[in-house]
Amino acid sequence: MIDGFRLDGRRALVTGASRGIGRSIAEAFAEAGADVALAARTVPDLEMVAEAVEAHGCRAVVLPLDVRDVASVEKAVAKATEALGGLDILVNNAGVYFHATVAELTPEEFQLVIDVNLRAAVFAMQAARPLMRDSGGGVVINISSVAAEKGTPNVYGASKAALESFTRGADRDWALDNIRCVAIAPGMIDTDMEAEVMADPARIDPVIASTARRRVAQPGEVAAAAVYLASQSADFVSGAVLNVDGGRSANY
């Protein structure tokens, strides 16, 4: 059974791959045998991730990318496919978060969150669909958040809830193309994005108290879920959202 979790010969594109969850997913994919195209804004960081991927004997492609630019997103998908000889896995991980409440949120911040967390994923999927279809199918993994279910006093939770809804709709629409669309909803993860919260006991302590496991997660715990969802062992997992939140989405 363990062979079903291998990704040998698979070709993946991971956005937001320079650090945090994206980096962990890229490295985990390589450990499982996949070649990986790495997309993000910071090239030096991507090059370090590429070295880690190549250390597993897999190919790495560095793609500078600002996901706010839809044309660049489409080009990145095309370049990844060309460089790797096909595309089997797309991970939409790039994300942004503002702590501003609804009362404080500016139109510019609202647009940025929607552009990065939702629009970029939608158009990356649109670009990837025909390429995956022509190669026999594939898997799209969208990185959501427990905030999609719990809600937030800002637009972040709404952007992730929309992403989950789009994931389910695309999965139904793309099933005949043999493309599975799934999502992962992490809880609090020890990443740079959450550094401000992690450093403030008044903010992090209630989060941990509402988490059954009574701790935050490491990025590798999300990466493990991504490897499973991308693998043949998850072939019957379709249109689903997998919570990796330590029980926070339950009524604790």
Active-site annotation, residues: 156
Instruction: Render 129-188 in DSSP notation, one character per residue.
Output: HHHHHHTT-EEEEEE--THHHH--SSHHHHHHHHHHHHHHHHHHHHGGGTEEEEEEEE-S
Structure tokens at 41: 């804004």
Provide the token pair at 61.
């492609």
Distance of CA 82 to the CA centre of its chain: 21
CA distance 119 to 115: 5
Helices 155-174 & 107-114 angle (0-180, nearest 10) = 30
Is 32 strand, coil or helix?
coil
Three-class secondary structure of residue 247 per DSSP: coil
Handedness of CA 112, 13, 18, 242 (dihedral sign): positive
Asked whether 142 and 167 are in contact (CB, 8 A), the reply is yes
The C-alpha atoms of residue 189 and residue 215 are separated, in whole angstroms, by 9
d(CA 151, CA 149): 6
- 1 residue type, one letter: M
CB atoms under 10 Å from CB of 234, counted, come to: 20
